[in-house]
Structure 1
């Protein structure tokens, strides 16, 4: 199987590299999103419908993502709108919704967050309790979402809510678009993690206006599953570039500290390197294969545990120093270096985005055809 990129892809790579070298990103944020949008780097995979900027083939999208990661460019605050909302609107939205929202995302002007998980309804999304009632031309949403990335910065939230009273599980749900600027109707509470960061939030809706339904009322589960199918694609390859950089830091540290002379640690590091190569080949093999229902779940199972093992290895290579901070400790201070943050954050890798147990159930039922668990 040929995993090489073609001549046009390499020309595109050179263009992307030149642009990234000419545009230092700083801290990212809204200004960076607008810069990306102004020069046509948002919406590469949206096709030729006129909603995005330049168009690019699937392999060129991979090239851009690789170069972005290798350049050390900042984490995107607009990726939820570009990578999740936009493909969903292109597949299920009406023309009015596409015209209203896609150009603003492409210009980097509006940021989005995802209102899926709830207390008691994380991996089991169908157990959600957030409800929405009809109100004129739209809905009023009431409920509680959690682990909502970037909700404190977002302009809009796409929310999965129950719009048909008396329904259960996957039935009676709708995919709603909710403006976040509704004082008294929406409250955002940041969640401070053990890494000291707080990019996740709790979001409380109290009769918040939701003027748009995507895909028709009662069809929310179908739309939500369509969104989750696109969530893992090119993004998996981007993620692996970051993993490669983290593994490189651990390898350098092992050589500098002499830990690499330990045969057990050396064997574990070689395994991490080899498994990362296998994950890349698997991601390239399945890229764009919409018919492979188990591919996203297999990818999640592979990288989640791999990243946890890398965090554990980083601390093993550090030894006792891994338990101390990079600077002088003082009361109230909580300083961590990059590898310590990676170790702590990776504890959640096998839970968020669908736990390992959920991924195995998907593979068992949808790919292997095993009988479903009794409800």
Structure 2
């Protein structure tokens, strides 16, 4: 591990990987370290390998990405090589919508919907692989940043197990440690970003912290269901199937979508994505199946599948999509403090989600 890096990026999700790859294309000799709490790249879009059952491999978070049909030239340069190499495939025509009376249609959307192939993790891996000098991009996985502070023109970053690394520049690829929701998640009394600055020393950072505190986020809970009976699974021709729920169902039950993923032993993982505006609710497996059977009334192949499911896990997503009060793009980089920010929490016009995360990360790399 280097004593001093040129850039340290906190987070190795889509934003962090995009920034690192784009920066490497501009400054191929710069040393970049991405620090990630998870076991591999991807953040919410990573792919899970079960430690209990090693044949299981599935996308337990973000299962696809939505992009405008006329996305920017910068994004096109980033994703076109992935589409060409089939690391990113268009699945727009394969996504279904079910409404409150049980009618199933193809989803009508003004977006293009893609997924990493064969898994979502291939998207972030493909972005990193586009860098010009891959050996200068380094990773620390299963690592938590405890604090950071500017000392003697360097960032001093304290990690778990009291390890310390230093960097000339620091980039936060998520809003988490700049937003009050981290207080409960990390069980701390103050914002890590606030602790790094004496109020008044960098007015841009003071303003960013103030603006970030007003952002509200969608909360998400995913229920991971398992079907072991191959006879119930083989009826489904698609390796990946996504069924979105209508607005009425979302409003009543908080059900957002179902992701069906066949496994190599002909079993299936089904992930129910639920979203909430304020309170994150808990639902039993029995109640979930009861509601699904009601929604899919008359769709016997789905009902037979749901009846066979076992609940094997559930996940609360601490970092999710902002719904208001996005940060002005002028606050992405502080030249005074050598700290930058990227992700889907910046206002870059008429886009959101992954597309916004990509645009803000590309923009930040261009600012430097």
TM category (shorter chain) comes to under 0.3
Structure with higher helix content:
1
Structure 2 length as normaliser, TM-score? 0.25
TM-score, with length taken from structure 1: 0.24
Report 1 or 2 for greater relative contact order, CA contacts < 8 Å, sequence distance ≥ 6: 2
